[in-house]
């Protein structure tokens, strides 16, 4: 399949069901905004048994409860429908850790719920108890908040935050003729997707598309290792290389979203940007042979939709 002169491989990405919550974080000191995003979204990912997070979008003060500028972040965890209680317990613990270490410690932050859902976490036990017996419930901004006294003043977080299950692991691979062009198109896609509601790119431009642990892997304890078949520098060194001739750099854009529609629309937009970018020779996607993910998102389905709508 060809689109704008770029080959779209007839393949699919393998996506997963995950648990997700959305937090709206505001700051009175706007200069700390990017630092807060980096710190609150940078903990280890689902693939190593933790949580992953990403920036959904920036918000001006007229869009927030306290009229301070801020952002919406999504936090994701693994979801096992066969053992939902265990999944919720683990995610609740990890969510508290991420909030405490990634947001609470940054001056002038306030945290609000940004996901309307009948299912909610009570954050008193895993966050509120940071107040050591000095925390208290307060009504603020027409919401039920927890107040925690800190060394730089009182800190506030909404007591109940919604959670739901969504789709994680949607992705595209951009096979490019140079690192310069790979970085350029990667940045362009991430900058475009920041305006799309309900999705995040938790790894931004990812240089290491993961794979499953395979039989004979010399270091199985480390989990998924480098995807050697798609390492350009190994193309002439290994017989099993799948890197096309002329490809020098393959960034991966991972997309998590609240619904399958959200993920597919974001992937379609990413492909649309990719095929119009200099140096992109081919677009593909990462999967695990159909053995891990609950969902398969076929690029040819997205291609048919894009081909009808793409601006010439």
Per-residue pLDDT band at 294 (split at 50, 70, 90): very high
Average pLDDT, the chain: 94
User: Between the CA atoms of 125, 126, 131 and 136, what dihedral angle is there, to the nearest 10 degrees?
Assistant: -50
* pLDDT reading at 307 higher than 70: no
Q: Do domains 2-14+168-309 and 17-164 have the same CATH topology?
A: yes
Across residues 203-221, what is the average pLDDT? Answer: 84
Across residues 284-294, what is the average pLDDT? Answer: 89
* pLDDT reading at 186 higher than 80: yes
Cβ neighbours for 275, distance < 8 A, ≥ 6 positions apart:
3, 4, 5, 6, 8, 283, 310
The token pair that represents 70 in the structure block = 């801020």
The token pair that represents 206 in the structure block = 């990812």
Per-residue pLDDT band at 222 (split at 50, 70, 90): confident
Q: Phi, psi at residue 120, to the nearest 5°?
A: -140, 150
- pLDDT score of 14: 94
The token pair that represents 58 in the structure block = 């920036």
Distance CA 218, CA 254 (A): 27
Across residues 240-253, what is the average pLDDT? Answer: 97
Q: How confident is the model over 62-105, as pLDDT tens digits?
A: 999 999 999 999 999 999 999 999 999 999 999 999 999 999 99
Per-residue pLDDT band at 217 (split at 50, 70, 90): confident
Per-residue pLDDT band at 306 (split at 50, 70, 90): low
* pLDDT reading at 311 higher than 60: no
More reliable by pLDDT, 210 or 5: 5
- pLDDT score of 312: 43
- Contact, 262 vs 167, CB < 8 A? yes
Per-residue pLDDT band at 290 (split at 50, 70, 90): confident
Q: How confident is the model over 279-288, as pLDDT tens digits?
A: 999 999 999 8
In this structure, whether the domain defined by 17-164 belongs to CATH 2.70.180.20 is answered with no
- pLDDT score of 34: 97
Cβ neighbours for 297, distance < 8 A, ≥ 6 positions apart:
12, 13, 15, 170, 260, 263, 264, 267, 285
Parallel, antiparallel, or unpaired for β 199-200 and 252-257?
antiparallel
- pLDDT score of 220: 77
Q: How confident is the model over 133-159, as pLDDT tens digits?
A: 999 999 999 999 999 999 999 999 999
Across residues 241-269, what is the average pLDDT? Answer: 97
- Per-domain residue ranges for the chain? 2-14+168-309, 17-164
- pLDDT score of 308: 57
- Contact, 272 vs 185, CB < 8 A? no
2-14+168-309 adopts what CATH topology?
Alpha-Beta Plaits (3.30.70)
């Amino acid at each position: 399949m060809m689109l704008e002169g770029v080959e779209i491989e007839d393949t699919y990405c393998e996506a997963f069901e995950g648990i997700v919550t959305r937090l709206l974080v505001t700051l009175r000191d706007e200069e700390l905004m990017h630092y807060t995003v980096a710190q609150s979204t940078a903990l280890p990912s689902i693939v190593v048994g933790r949580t992953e997070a990403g920036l959904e979008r920036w918000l001006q003060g007229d869009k927030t409860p306290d009229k301070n500028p801020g952002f919406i972040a999504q936090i994701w965890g693994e979801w096992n429908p066969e053992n939902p209680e265990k999944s919720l317990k683990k995610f609740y613990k990890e969510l508290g850790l991420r909030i405490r270490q990634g947001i609470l410690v940054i001056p002038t932050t306030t945290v609000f719920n940004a996901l309307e859902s009948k299912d909610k976490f009570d954050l008193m036990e895993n966050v509120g108890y940071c107040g050591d017996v000095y925390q208290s419930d307060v009504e603020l901004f027409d919401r039920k908040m927890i107040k925690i006294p800190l060394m730089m003043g009182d800190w506030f977080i909404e007591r109940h935050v919604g959670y739901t299950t969504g789709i994680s692991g949607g992705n595209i691979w951009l096979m490019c003729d140079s690192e310069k062009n790979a970085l350029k198109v990667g940045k362009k896609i991430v900058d475009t997707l920041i305006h799309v509601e309900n999705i995040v790119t938790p790894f931004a431009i990812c240089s290491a598309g993961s794979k499953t642990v395979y039989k004979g892997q010399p270091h199985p304890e480390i989990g998924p290792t480098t995807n050697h078949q798609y390492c350009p520098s190994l193309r002439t060194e290994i017989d099993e290389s799948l890197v096309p001739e002329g490809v020098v750099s393959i960034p991966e854009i991972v997309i998590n979203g609240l619904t399958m529609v959200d993920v597919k629309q974001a992937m379609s937009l990413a492909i649309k940007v990719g095929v119009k970018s200099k140096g992109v020779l081919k677009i593909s996607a990462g999967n695990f042979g159909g053995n891990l993910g609950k969902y398969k998102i076929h690029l040819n389905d997205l291609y048919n939709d894009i081909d009808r709508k793409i601006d010439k």
